[in-house]
Amino acid sequence: MAGDPRDAVITGIGLISTLADGIEAHTRILSGAERPTPLLDTETYAPYPVHPLVEIDLSTQIPRRGDQRQMENWQRYGTYAAGLALTDAGLAGETEFLERMNLIVAAGGGERDATVDGDIVEGWRQAEDPGAFVNDRLMSDLRPTLFLAQLSNLLAGNISIVHHVTGSSRTFMGEELGGAMAIETAWRQIRAGQNDLFLVGGAYNAARYDMMVFLAMSGGLWTGDVVPDVWHRTGQDGGMVPASMGAFLVIESREHADARGTKIYARIDDVVTDRGARDRSERYAARIARQVERLNAAAGSAALGLLSGASGAPEATGLEREMIDAMSAGRPTFVRGLGSLMGHGMEAQMPAGVALAAAALADGAFYPPFADADVEAEATEAPSTIAVTGWGSWRGESLTILGSES
Protein backbone atom coordinates (compact mmCIF):
# COMPACT_ATOMS: atom_id res chain seq x y z
CA MET A 1 0.00 0.00 0.00
CA ALA A 2 1.35 3.43 -0.90
CA GLY A 3 1.52 5.88 1.97
CA ASP A 4 3.51 8.60 3.65
CA PRO A 5 7.21 7.65 3.82
CA ARG A 6 7.18 8.90 7.42
CA ASP A 7 4.35 6.59 8.49
CA ALA A 8 5.34 4.52 11.53
CA VAL A 9 4.65 0.87 10.71
CA ILE A 10 4.94 -2.35 12.71
CA THR A 11 7.09 -4.98 11.02
CA GLY A 12 7.93 -7.40 13.83
CA ILE A 13 6.07 -8.76 16.87
CA GLY A 14 7.27 -10.75 19.86
CA LEU A 15 4.61 -11.74 22.41
CA ILE A 16 4.57 -14.21 25.30
CA SER A 17 1.83 -14.46 27.90
CA THR A 18 -0.21 -16.86 29.96
CA LEU A 19 -1.92 -17.95 26.73
CA ALA A 20 0.87 -18.71 24.27
CA ASP A 21 4.41 -18.25 22.97
CA GLY A 22 4.56 -16.10 19.81
CA ILE A 23 2.12 -13.90 17.93
CA GLU A 24 0.88 -16.64 15.58
CA ALA A 25 -0.02 -18.88 18.50
CA HIS A 26 -1.85 -16.00 20.20
CA THR A 27 -3.96 -15.10 17.18
CA ARG A 28 -4.78 -18.76 16.55
CA ILE A 29 -5.90 -19.33 20.15
CA LEU A 30 -7.81 -16.07 20.49
CA SER A 31 -9.56 -16.53 17.13
CA GLY A 32 -10.60 -20.12 17.77
CA ALA A 33 -14.14 -21.41 17.95
CA GLU A 34 -13.78 -22.02 21.69
CA ARG A 35 -12.76 -19.31 24.12
CA PRO A 36 -9.38 -20.21 25.64
CA THR A 37 -8.83 -20.86 29.33
CA PRO A 38 -5.73 -19.03 30.56
CA LEU A 39 -3.33 -20.48 33.08
CA LEU A 40 -4.32 -19.45 36.60
CA ASP A 41 -2.38 -20.04 39.82
CA THR A 42 -4.77 -19.76 42.77
CA GLU A 43 -2.55 -21.42 45.37
CA THR A 44 0.94 -19.86 45.49
CA TYR A 45 -0.22 -16.39 46.50
CA ALA A 46 -3.63 -17.31 47.95
CA PRO A 47 -6.08 -15.70 48.28
CA TYR A 48 -4.81 -13.75 45.25
CA PRO A 49 -4.82 -15.45 41.81
CA VAL A 50 -2.01 -14.88 39.29
CA HIS A 51 -1.65 -15.69 35.58
CA PRO A 52 1.78 -17.36 35.19
CA LEU A 53 3.67 -17.38 31.92
CA VAL A 54 3.20 -20.26 29.52
CA GLU A 55 6.22 -22.57 29.30
CA ILE A 56 8.92 -21.24 26.97
CA ASP A 57 12.34 -22.48 25.86
CA LEU A 58 14.65 -19.61 26.76
CA SER A 59 17.55 -21.11 24.82
CA THR A 60 15.85 -20.34 21.50
CA GLN A 61 16.29 -16.60 22.07
CA ILE A 62 18.89 -16.47 24.87
CA PRO A 63 21.31 -19.23 23.84
CA ARG A 64 24.02 -18.65 26.44
CA ARG A 65 23.22 -20.19 29.82
CA GLY A 66 25.41 -17.62 31.51
CA ASP A 67 23.23 -14.82 30.15
CA GLN A 68 20.11 -16.60 31.37
CA ARG A 69 21.51 -17.14 34.88
CA GLN A 70 22.42 -13.53 35.52
CA MET A 71 18.93 -12.26 34.62
CA GLU A 72 15.84 -12.15 36.79
CA ASN A 73 12.66 -13.54 35.25
CA TRP A 74 11.27 -10.21 34.06
CA GLN A 75 14.51 -9.63 32.16
CA ARG A 76 14.38 -13.12 30.67
CA TYR A 77 10.81 -12.60 29.49
CA GLY A 78 11.61 -9.25 27.88
CA THR A 79 14.83 -10.41 26.24
CA TYR A 80 13.03 -13.48 24.89
CA ALA A 81 10.12 -11.43 23.49
CA ALA A 82 12.56 -8.93 21.96
CA GLY A 83 14.29 -11.80 20.17
CA LEU A 84 10.95 -13.00 18.81
CA ALA A 85 10.21 -9.53 17.44
CA LEU A 86 13.61 -9.22 15.77
CA THR A 87 13.26 -12.67 14.21
CA ASP A 88 9.75 -11.90 13.00
CA ALA A 89 11.00 -8.69 11.37
CA GLY A 90 13.89 -10.49 9.67
CA LEU A 91 16.44 -8.48 11.65
CA ALA A 92 17.93 -11.06 14.02
CA GLY A 93 21.67 -11.16 13.46
CA GLU A 94 21.55 -8.36 10.88
CA THR A 95 24.38 -6.21 12.23
CA GLU A 96 23.88 -3.46 9.67
CA PHE A 97 20.44 -2.70 11.14
CA LEU A 98 21.02 -3.69 14.77
CA GLU A 99 23.90 -1.25 15.17
CA ARG A 100 21.59 1.70 14.54
CA MET A 101 18.36 0.29 15.96
CA ASN A 102 16.96 2.43 18.77
CA LEU A 103 15.76 0.58 21.87
CA ILE A 104 12.91 1.84 24.06
CA VAL A 105 11.90 -0.30 27.02
CA ALA A 106 9.11 0.01 29.59
CA ALA A 107 10.01 -1.70 32.84
CA GLY A 108 9.59 -1.58 36.58
CA GLY A 109 12.26 -2.58 39.05
CA GLY A 110 13.91 -5.84 39.97
CA GLU A 111 12.80 -8.27 42.61
CA ARG A 112 13.19 -7.53 46.30
CA ASP A 113 14.04 -9.85 49.18
CA ALA A 114 10.69 -11.54 49.76
CA THR A 115 11.70 -12.94 53.17
CA VAL A 116 12.59 -9.51 54.55
CA ASP A 117 9.48 -7.95 53.05
CA GLY A 118 7.32 -10.68 54.55
CA ASP A 119 8.79 -10.15 58.00
CA ILE A 120 8.17 -6.41 57.71
CA VAL A 121 4.55 -6.93 56.69
CA GLU A 122 4.04 -9.24 59.68
CA GLY A 123 5.65 -6.86 62.13
CA TRP A 124 4.84 -3.31 61.12
CA ARG A 125 1.20 -3.38 62.18
CA GLN A 126 2.14 -4.33 65.74
CA ALA A 127 5.12 -1.98 66.02
CA GLU A 128 4.81 0.98 68.39
CA ASP A 129 6.48 3.19 65.77
CA PRO A 130 5.79 1.59 62.35
CA GLY A 131 7.96 4.07 60.46
CA ALA A 132 11.00 3.52 62.65
CA PHE A 133 10.42 -0.24 62.56
CA VAL A 134 10.38 -0.33 58.76
CA ASN A 135 13.47 1.87 58.42
CA ASP A 136 15.43 -0.20 60.92
CA ARG A 137 14.58 -3.50 59.22
CA LEU A 138 15.36 -2.19 55.74
CA MET A 139 18.74 -0.79 56.81
CA SER A 140 19.82 -3.89 58.71
CA ASP A 141 18.36 -6.78 56.70
CA LEU A 142 18.76 -5.93 53.00
CA ARG A 143 21.94 -7.07 51.22
CA PRO A 144 24.09 -4.22 49.85
CA THR A 145 24.01 -5.54 46.28
CA LEU A 146 20.21 -5.63 46.13
CA PHE A 147 20.20 -2.14 44.60
CA LEU A 148 21.90 -3.42 41.47
CA ALA A 149 19.06 -5.86 40.88
CA GLN A 150 16.52 -3.04 41.13
CA LEU A 151 17.72 -1.04 38.13
CA SER A 152 14.92 -0.73 35.59
CA ASN A 153 17.28 -0.41 32.62
CA LEU A 154 18.73 -3.89 33.16
CA LEU A 155 16.26 -5.25 30.60
CA ALA A 156 17.51 -2.84 27.94
CA GLY A 157 21.08 -3.74 28.80
CA ASN A 158 20.43 -7.46 28.45
CA ILE A 159 18.65 -7.00 25.12
CA SER A 160 21.68 -5.10 23.88
CA ILE A 161 24.06 -7.81 25.10
CA VAL A 162 22.09 -10.81 23.82
CA HIS A 163 20.67 -9.41 20.58
CA HIS A 164 23.37 -6.81 19.78
CA VAL A 165 20.94 -3.90 19.56
CA THR A 166 23.42 -1.06 20.00
CA GLY A 167 21.74 2.16 18.90
CA SER A 168 20.32 4.61 21.41
CA SER A 169 18.64 3.18 24.51
CA ARG A 170 16.12 4.53 26.96
CA THR A 171 13.85 3.06 29.63
CA PHE A 172 10.48 4.35 30.80
CA MET A 173 9.06 3.58 34.23
CA GLY A 174 5.45 4.23 35.17
CA GLU A 175 3.45 1.00 35.06
CA GLU A 176 0.96 0.85 32.18
CA LEU A 177 1.70 4.39 31.02
CA GLY A 178 5.37 3.52 30.56
CA GLY A 179 4.53 1.03 27.80
CA ALA A 180 2.35 3.56 26.00
CA MET A 181 4.98 6.29 26.24
CA ALA A 182 7.60 3.96 24.79
CA ILE A 183 5.43 3.44 21.71
CA GLU A 184 4.56 7.13 21.53
CA THR A 185 8.23 8.14 21.56
CA ALA A 186 9.09 5.84 18.66
CA TRP A 187 6.03 7.01 16.71
CA ARG A 188 6.82 10.68 17.22
CA GLN A 189 10.48 10.36 16.27
CA ILE A 190 9.62 8.48 13.09
CA ARG A 191 6.94 10.97 12.13
CA ALA A 192 9.40 13.82 12.74
CA GLY A 193 12.08 12.21 10.59
CA GLN A 194 14.48 11.90 13.52
CA ASN A 195 14.91 8.10 13.35
CA ASP A 196 13.80 5.17 11.20
CA LEU A 197 14.10 1.98 13.24
CA PHE A 198 13.02 1.03 16.78
CA LEU A 199 12.64 -1.99 19.04
CA VAL A 200 9.96 -1.10 21.60
CA GLY A 201 8.25 -3.03 24.37
CA GLY A 202 8.06 -4.14 27.97
CA ALA A 203 7.99 -7.13 30.29
CA TYR A 204 6.51 -8.00 33.65
CA ASN A 205 6.88 -10.93 36.03
CA ALA A 206 3.77 -11.29 38.16
CA ALA A 207 4.89 -14.44 39.96
CA ARG A 208 6.94 -12.72 42.66
CA TYR A 209 6.16 -12.31 46.32
CA ASP A 210 7.47 -8.76 46.63
CA MET A 211 5.15 -7.44 43.95
CA MET A 212 2.19 -9.36 45.31
CA VAL A 213 2.87 -7.93 48.76
CA PHE A 214 2.91 -4.40 47.34
CA LEU A 215 -0.27 -4.87 45.32
CA ALA A 216 -2.03 -6.60 48.22
CA MET A 217 -1.15 -3.76 50.60
CA SER A 218 -2.50 -1.26 48.08
CA GLY A 219 -5.80 -3.13 47.91
CA GLY A 220 -5.61 -3.56 44.15
CA LEU A 221 -5.93 -7.35 43.77
CA TRP A 222 -8.88 -9.60 43.07
CA THR A 223 -9.46 -12.23 45.75
CA GLY A 224 -10.65 -15.80 45.23
CA ASP A 225 -10.41 -18.79 42.91
CA VAL A 226 -13.24 -17.71 40.58
CA VAL A 227 -12.22 -14.78 38.36
CA PRO A 228 -14.95 -12.93 36.41
CA ASP A 229 -14.18 -11.01 33.23
CA VAL A 230 -12.68 -7.54 33.69
CA TRP A 231 -16.05 -5.82 33.25
CA HIS A 232 -17.68 -7.62 36.18
CA ARG A 233 -15.12 -7.68 38.98
CA THR A 234 -17.35 -5.95 41.48
CA GLY A 235 -18.04 -6.45 45.15
CA GLN A 236 -14.38 -6.15 46.14
CA ASP A 237 -12.03 -3.21 46.59
CA GLY A 238 -9.56 -4.69 44.12
CA GLY A 239 -9.97 -6.31 40.73
CA MET A 240 -6.57 -6.85 39.15
CA VAL A 241 -5.22 -10.32 38.37
CA PRO A 242 -1.50 -9.83 37.63
CA ALA A 243 -0.02 -11.65 34.64
CA SER A 244 3.51 -12.44 33.53
CA MET A 245 4.05 -11.09 30.04
CA GLY A 246 6.61 -9.93 27.50
CA ALA A 247 5.73 -7.87 24.41
CA PHE A 248 8.04 -6.19 21.90
CA LEU A 249 7.48 -4.50 18.54
CA VAL A 250 9.76 -3.56 15.69
CA ILE A 251 8.55 -0.14 14.53
CA GLU A 252 10.10 1.59 11.53
CA SER A 253 9.32 4.24 8.97
CA ARG A 254 7.45 3.08 5.90
CA GLU A 255 10.34 4.30 3.77
CA HIS A 256 12.78 2.15 5.72
CA ALA A 257 10.50 -0.91 5.71
CA ASP A 258 9.89 -0.63 1.96
CA ALA A 259 13.61 -0.24 1.26
CA ARG A 260 14.39 -3.57 2.87
CA GLY A 261 11.32 -5.26 1.41
CA THR A 262 9.76 -6.47 4.63
CA LYS A 263 6.14 -7.21 5.48
CA ILE A 264 4.06 -4.62 7.32
CA TYR A 265 1.50 -5.65 9.91
CA ALA A 266 -0.19 -2.30 10.46
CA ARG A 267 0.30 1.45 10.62
CA ILE A 268 0.36 3.48 13.84
CA ASP A 269 -1.94 6.44 13.18
CA ASP A 270 -1.81 8.14 16.57
CA VAL A 271 -0.72 7.71 20.19
CA VAL A 272 -2.15 9.72 23.08
CA THR A 273 -0.75 9.58 26.61
CA ASP A 274 -2.03 11.41 29.64
CA ARG A 275 -1.88 11.41 33.39
CA GLY A 276 -4.05 13.44 35.73
CA ALA A 277 -6.62 13.38 38.48
CA ARG A 278 -9.64 11.17 37.82
CA ASP A 279 -11.95 13.57 39.61
CA ARG A 280 -14.66 14.14 36.97
CA SER A 281 -13.74 17.83 36.90
CA GLU A 282 -13.89 20.01 33.79
CA ARG A 283 -10.19 19.34 33.25
CA TYR A 284 -10.83 15.60 33.47
CA ALA A 285 -13.67 15.87 30.94
CA ALA A 286 -11.40 17.81 28.58
CA ARG A 287 -8.74 15.12 28.81
CA ILE A 288 -11.25 12.43 27.87
CA ALA A 289 -12.67 14.56 25.06
CA ARG A 290 -9.15 14.97 23.67
CA GLN A 291 -8.73 11.22 23.30
CA VAL A 292 -12.15 10.83 21.69
CA GLU A 293 -11.41 13.67 19.25
CA ARG A 294 -8.09 12.11 18.25
CA LEU A 295 -9.83 8.78 17.65
CA ASN A 296 -12.57 10.42 15.58
CA ALA A 297 -9.98 12.18 13.46
CA ALA A 298 -8.18 8.91 12.74
CA ALA A 299 -11.12 6.52 12.38
CA GLY A 300 -14.04 8.59 11.12
CA SER A 301 -17.37 6.79 11.36
CA ALA A 302 -16.15 3.41 10.09
CA ALA A 303 -16.34 0.24 12.17
CA LEU A 304 -13.87 0.19 15.04
CA GLY A 305 -12.16 -2.64 16.86
CA LEU A 306 -11.22 -1.74 20.42
CA LEU A 307 -8.82 -3.72 22.59
CA SER A 308 -9.05 -2.52 26.16
CA GLY A 309 -6.18 -2.94 28.59
CA ALA A 310 -8.52 -2.49 31.57
CA SER A 311 -7.08 -4.04 34.72
CA GLY A 312 -10.41 -5.00 36.31
CA ALA A 313 -9.85 -2.55 39.19
CA PRO A 314 -13.44 -1.34 39.72
CA GLU A 315 -12.97 2.44 39.69
CA ALA A 316 -10.39 2.63 36.88
CA THR A 317 -12.23 0.07 34.75
CA GLY A 318 -15.52 1.88 35.24
CA LEU A 319 -13.99 5.15 34.07
CA GLU A 320 -12.33 3.45 31.11
CA ARG A 321 -15.64 1.90 30.12
CA GLU A 322 -17.25 5.36 30.16
CA MET A 323 -14.55 6.56 27.76
CA ILE A 324 -15.07 3.48 25.58
CA ASP A 325 -18.79 4.29 25.42
CA ALA A 326 -17.91 7.81 24.24
CA MET A 327 -15.55 6.40 21.63
CA SER A 328 -18.23 3.99 20.42
CA ALA A 329 -20.81 6.68 19.70
CA GLY A 330 -21.74 6.98 16.03
CA ARG A 331 -19.90 3.90 14.77
CA PRO A 332 -20.07 0.09 15.03
CA THR A 333 -17.57 -0.75 17.79
CA PHE A 334 -16.38 -4.19 18.85
CA VAL A 335 -14.79 -4.14 22.31
CA ARG A 336 -12.51 -6.81 23.77
CA GLY A 337 -11.08 -6.76 27.30
CA LEU A 338 -7.56 -8.18 27.15
CA GLY A 339 -7.41 -8.74 30.91
CA SER A 340 -10.23 -11.28 30.85
CA LEU A 341 -8.02 -13.81 29.04
CA MET A 342 -4.46 -12.50 29.48
CA GLY A 343 -4.51 -10.85 32.88
CA HIS A 344 -2.76 -7.57 33.60
CA GLY A 345 0.86 -7.19 32.52
CA MET A 346 1.60 -3.65 33.75
CA GLU A 347 4.33 -2.16 31.51
CA ALA A 348 3.77 -4.86 28.88
CA GLN A 349 0.00 -4.35 28.68
CA MET A 350 -0.09 -1.65 25.99
CA PRO A 351 2.63 -3.26 23.79
CA ALA A 352 0.72 -6.57 24.03
CA GLY A 353 -2.53 -4.91 22.99
CA VAL A 354 -0.84 -3.16 20.07
CA ALA A 355 0.74 -6.46 19.02
CA LEU A 356 -2.63 -8.21 18.91
CA ALA A 357 -4.25 -5.27 17.12
CA ALA A 358 -1.54 -5.22 14.45
CA ALA A 359 -1.86 -8.97 13.89
CA ALA A 360 -5.65 -8.72 13.52
CA LEU A 361 -5.34 -5.92 10.98
CA ALA A 362 -2.78 -7.91 9.00
CA ASP A 363 -5.14 -10.89 8.97
CA GLY A 364 -8.12 -8.76 7.94
CA ALA A 365 -10.16 -10.09 10.85
CA PHE A 366 -11.06 -9.38 14.46
CA TYR A 367 -11.29 -11.52 17.56
CA PRO A 368 -14.44 -13.15 18.95
CA PRO A 369 -15.63 -11.77 22.29
CA PHE A 370 -13.27 -12.42 25.20
CA ALA A 371 -16.08 -12.38 27.74
CA ASP A 372 -19.80 -12.99 28.15
CA ALA A 373 -20.43 -9.33 28.80
CA ASP A 374 -22.89 -6.81 27.48
CA VAL A 375 -20.00 -4.59 26.42
CA GLU A 376 -18.51 -7.22 24.08
CA ALA A 377 -20.52 -7.97 20.93
CA GLU A 378 -19.69 -10.22 18.01
CA ALA A 379 -17.88 -8.41 15.20
CA THR A 380 -20.15 -8.10 12.20
CA GLU A 381 -17.29 -6.89 9.99
CA ALA A 382 -13.53 -6.68 10.06
CA PRO A 383 -12.53 -3.20 11.23
CA SER A 384 -9.83 -1.30 9.34
CA THR A 385 -9.00 0.69 12.48
CA ILE A 386 -8.29 -0.74 15.93
CA ALA A 387 -7.87 1.37 19.04
CA VAL A 388 -5.97 0.07 22.07
CA THR A 389 -6.88 1.76 25.35
CA GLY A 390 -4.85 1.60 28.52
CA TRP A 391 -6.10 3.01 31.79
CA GLY A 392 -3.67 2.23 34.57
CA SER A 393 -5.05 0.61 37.68
CA TRP A 394 -4.38 3.86 39.57
CA ARG A 395 -2.83 6.36 37.16
CA GLY A 396 -2.10 6.98 33.49
CA GLU A 397 -4.54 7.04 30.56
CA SER A 398 -3.41 6.14 27.06
CA LEU A 399 -4.65 5.36 23.57
CA THR A 400 -2.91 3.88 20.51
CA ILE A 401 -4.70 3.88 17.14
CA LEU A 402 -3.68 1.48 14.38
CA GLY A 403 -4.78 1.41 10.75
CA SER A 404 -4.88 -1.40 8.22
CA GLU A 405 -2.52 -1.59 5.24
CA SER A 406 -5.07 -3.37 3.04
Per-residue pLDDT of the chain (406 residues), as tens digits, is 568 999 999 999 999 999 999 999 999 999 999 999 999 999 999 999 999 999 999 999 999 999 998 888 999 999 999 999 999 999 999 999 999 999 999 998 776 666 777 788 788 778 889 889 888 887 887 766 666 667 889 999 999 999 999 999 999 998 999 999 999 999 999 999 999 999 999 999 999 888 888 888 888 899 999 999 999 998 888 899 999 999 999 999 999 999 999 999 999 999 999 998 888 899 999 999 999 999 999 998 999 999 999 999 998 999 999 999 999 999 999 999 999 999 999 999 999 999 999 999 999 999 999 998 788 999 999 999 999 999 888 888 999 999 999 7
* Buried b / exposed e along 198-216 (16+ C-beta atoms within 10 A): bbbbbbbbbbbbbbbbebb
What is the side-by-side strand order in the sheet with 197-204? 169-172, 102-106, 197-204, 245-253, 8-16, 266-274, 397-403, 385-391, 304-308, 333-337
> What pLDDT shows up at residue 147?
65
Cβ atoms 26, 103 nearer than 8 A: no
Residue 333's SS3 state is strand
pLDDT of residue 136: 87
Give the Cα separation of 241 and 221 in Å (integer): 6
- 8-112+146-259: CATH class: alpha beta
Backbone angles phi, psi at 267, to 5 degrees: -110, 135
pTM higher than the cut 0.95 = no
CA-closest candidate to residue 303, choices 358, 378, 385, 360: 385
Pairing of strands 169-172, 245-253: unpaired
Query: Dihedrals φ, ψ of 170, to 5°?
Result: -145, 155
The H or E element spanning position 224 is none
> 269-403, which class in CATH?
alpha beta
Q: What is the pLDDT of residue 72?
A: 87
Q: How many residues does the chain have?
A: 406
The sign of the CA dihedral 178, 182, 183, 187 is positive
Q: What is the pLDDT of residue 185?
A: 98
Q: Are 389 and 316 in contact (CB under 8 A)?
A: no
**Does 269-403 match 8-112+146-259 at the fold level?**
yes
- pLDDT given at position 145: 60
Taken in order 159, 175, 245, 247, the sign of the CA dihedral is negative
Where exactly are the structural domains of the chain? 8-112+146-259, 269-403
